Amino acid sequence: MIQTLFGSLDEEKNKKPGLLDRMKEAVSRTRENLSERIDEIVAFNKEIDANTLDDLEATLIAADLGTGTTQQVLEALRERATHRQIGNIDELKRLLKEQIAGILNGASNVPPRSVNGPEVILVVGVNGTGKTTTIGKLANTLRGQGKTVLLCASDTFRAAAIEQLEVWGSRTGVEVIKTKPGGDPSAVLFDALTAAKARNTDYVIVDTAGRLHTKQNLMAELEKMRRTAQKVISDAPHETLLVMDATTGQNGLQQARQFTQSAGVSGIVLTKLDGTAKGGVVVAISRELGLPVRYVGVGEKAGDLLPFDSQAFVDSLFA
């Protein structure tokens, strides 16, 4: 059973029967890029042998699985292909699905939960990846479940960032705790957590800056925020979500490494899956960062956030 921040995915599936359809829609360009090319490769090669796998390699890399992940997937198929044990295309796709699901499931973990008091979600990542938008979507999801939420505007680096979070706050009916632009991100976090604790708010979602003057500066700031959070709620943050932009592919993965090395990331949100033919990057992320993808962003609206289910994802890719 897949756990998300908000309980089991089965519960969410029951509420939203269209989840698989929405995932299929979101990866439609990736599916064309992957599944339909595989059809062509097999049609061209007639039988599935070592040559087919060579052609398949280029296709998997084009879908942004990355070279290491592609090699791992193909390695598992090579022996069988050499002995002509992959009878037809359905069998080939079934094996690919099995390999990819295995990688995705291998990175899964259960988010730690707050024993008592507010659950704190720290949202980090490079500028423009979709942090603030994702926070708005998460607030919307939680509000829809009747939870109480506070947003914390700790991206004090730009005035526009605070205003953008406030727009999401009013859209979702959630209060935003803020300070003036240029203010101390940790100070506003302290205020937000103190307020949440006093009010017994269910969730606090914390927006952070994507960049400061230097990388070291940024990482030190995030570290300070963690320490500050723990002064108010000892086991906070309960989840640190790294937001990544699917359209930046392998470059985004490079940038993400810097965060996972020093920001205590526990899960990934992959945004803009709707805009790319390279959704295979999900698999590369799981394998290379060893972290589960918790959610995918599939558009700019409040409802455009889907809990990530590896089986629904592979089924959608090869549908």
Ligand X SMILES: Nc1nc2c(ncn2[C@@H]2O[C@H](COP(=O)(O)OP(=O)(O)O)[C@@H](O)[C@H]2O)c(=O)[nH]1
Binding-site ranges for ligand X (CB under 6 A) = 125, 127-133, 210, 243, 271-272, 274-275, 297-300, 304
How many other C-beta atoms are found inside a 10 Å radius of the C-beta of residue 54? Answer: 13
Provide the mask over 133-172, with x wherever binding to Mg ion is found by CB under 5 A and - wherever it is not: ----------------------------x-----------
Express the helix, strand and coil content of the chain in percent, nearest 5 each.
Answer: 55, 15, 30
Q: Count the residues of the shown chain that bind Mg ion, applying the rule CB under 5 A.
A: 3
Shortest approach of ligand X to residue 81 CB, angstroms?
A: 37
Tell me which residue of 314, 313, 308, 310 sits closest to 12, measured CA to CA. Answer: 308
Residue with smallest beta-carbon separation from Mg ion:
132
Shortest approach of Mg ion to residue 168 CB, angstroms?
A: 10
Burial (CB < 10 A; 0-12, 13-18, 19+), residue 75, is exposed
Taking CB within 5 to 8 Å according to partner kind, which of ligand X, Mg ion, none is near residue 20?
none
Q: Interface with Mg ion by CB under 5 A: which range of 125-133, 192-200, 254-262, 298-306?
A: 125-133
Shortest approach of ligand X to residue 130 CB, angstroms?
A: 3
Residue of the chain from 35, 59, 132, 248 that contacts Mg ion (CB under 5 A): 132
Nearer to ligand X, 68 or 128 (CB): 128
Give whole-number Cα distances, 207 to 87, 286, 296, in Å.
51, 23, 18
| Residue in the structure block whose two tokens are 């906070």 | 236
Tell me which residue of 181, 265, 187 sits closest to 219, measured CA to CA. Answer: 265
Burial (CB < 10 A; 0-12, 13-18, 19+), residue 88, is exposed
Q: Please report, as ranges, the residues that interact with Mg ion according to CB under 5 A.
A: 131-132, 161
